[in-house]
Amino acid sequence: MNITFLGTSSGVPTLSRNVSSIALKLSQSAEVYLFDCGEGTQHQLMRSNIKSSQIKKIFITHMHGDHIYGLPGLLATLGLSGNSKGIEIYGPSELRGFINSALSSSFCKLSFPLHFVEVENFALKNKILFENSKITVECACLKHKIPAYGYRVSEKDKPGTFDIKKAEILKIPPGPIYSELQKGKTVILEDGRSLNGKNFCGPPKKGKSFVYCTDTIFSESAVSLSKNADLLVHESTFSKVDEDMAYEKLHSTTIMAAKTALLSNTKKLIITHLSPRYNNKNTIMPSDLLREAQKIFPNTQLAKDFLTAEIK
């Protein structure tokens, strides 16, 4: 899996940073999951290596405009292109009304179905939000001025490396039988031999995991959601010197994001959702935010628009 940042600014866009959106490209699949969709996201998609026609699911963290204002426009464009066969949209219960109202008021009729999933009960009851043979998606309640939710995408473990030489020595005919053995199944050959696939495979390859937490102040639920994740993307709206403002607005400082990564035993942290106040005209710049976080959690990276990060 890999992610591409389409917007990394907090509240409003700047000349170098658009508002929130991240595209997650799944392994061995053409599918893309979009997390948040701030104004201008479809322009960012056109400038990236992500094709909007690949988007199959959209996950919205909360109803603030810098996370949702781009969604009606993106859906309308997908409808005009005719490439989409349907999209699942996950988010707060108010999201359905917002989308339907925007599309109806602009006389937009989509050429594909929308399927809405309200995430509140899944988060409150710690229920799996989505699952198939390859991945699971979970969500958790965060702490913000309005209801907000973090998301975790986890790959399921993959079969270990198949020992072809061992199969050849035992004169097992290649083809579909190899595939069945690699899945760990027991196969009976035409000559009557019964073979256990587990004897032909190395240890399973652990699946990768990605967690996205914004907008929120430090939250134990974010720590729990991020346990042992390979990559945590966490908002860092404020510098540690503006901690009072962070508590007032219920956003995270760099220290809070780093603390979440440290306590959850995350492998890597990328901080995003930076306040536009931190720029070259300010005494504090984005590079200073990075250094603050790295003092607590060294394996921290600073997000920027169009940065692509492999999850490994």
Q: Which domain holds residue 185?
A: 164-200
Q: pLDDT tens digit string along 221-240? A: 999 999 999 999 999 999 99
- Only one residue has tokens 């780093």, namely 258
Query: What letter does residue 274 receive in the DSSP assignment?
Result: B
Dist CA 48 CA 256 (whole Å):
30
Whole-angstrom distance, CA of residue 76 vs CA of residue 46: 15
Same domain, 238 and 92: yes
User: What are the C-alpha distances in Å from 307 to residues 3, 16, 241, 288?
Assistant: 8, 12, 27, 19
Q: Are 211 and 279 members of one domain? A: yes
Please identify every residue annotated as catalytic.
Answer: 66
Question: According to the model, what pLDDT value does residue 173 have?
Answer: 86
Structure tokens at 217: 């102040």
- For residue 28, what is the DSSP state? T
- What does the block give as tokens for 61? 């963290």
Phi, psi of 185 (to 5 degrees): -80, 160
What pLDDT was estimated at residue 295?
A: 98
User: What percent of the chain is modeled with pLDDT above 70?
Assistant: 100
β-pair type (269-272, 135-141): unpaired
246 and 121 belong to one structural domain:
yes
CA 175 to each of CA 28, 43, 160, 189, 295: distance values in angstroms, whole numbers, following the listed order: 21, 45, 18, 12, 53
If asked whether residues 179 and 239 sit together in one domain, one would say no
Same domain, 110 and 148: yes
> Do 176 and 306 reside in the same domain of the chain?
no
Region 77-92 average pLDDT:
87
Buried b (16+ CB within 10 A) or exposed e, 138-147: bbbbbbbeeb
184 and 47 co-located in one domain: no
Residue that is last in its domain, among 200, 226, 260: 200
Mean pLDDT of the chain: 94
Residues 123 and 221 in one domain: yes
- pLDDT-derived band at 71 (thresholds 50, 70, 90) equals very high
Query: Do residues 256 and 215 lie in contact, with contact meaning Cβ atoms separated by under 8 Å?
Result: no
**Based on the domain organization, do 152 and 273 belong to the same domain?**
yes
Looking at 200, 227, 251, the residue that finishes a domain is 200
Specify the number of domains making up the chain: 2
Domain containing residue 36: CATH number: 3.60.15.10
This prediction's pTM = 0.91
The helix/strand/coil state of 172 is coil
Mark whether 145 and 57 lie in a shared domain: yes
**Residue-wise pLDDT tens digits, 275-296:** 999 988 889 999 999 999 999 9
Strands 130-131, 114-118: parallel, antiparallel or unpaired by DSSP? Answer: unpaired
> What does R_g of the chain's alpha carbons equal in angstroms?
22
| 83 — pLDDT class (breaks 50, 70, 90) | low
Question: Considering the chain, what percentage of its residues have pLDDT values greater than 90?
Answer: 78
Q: How far is CA 252 from the centre of its chain?
A: 19
Residues 32 and 181 in one domain: no
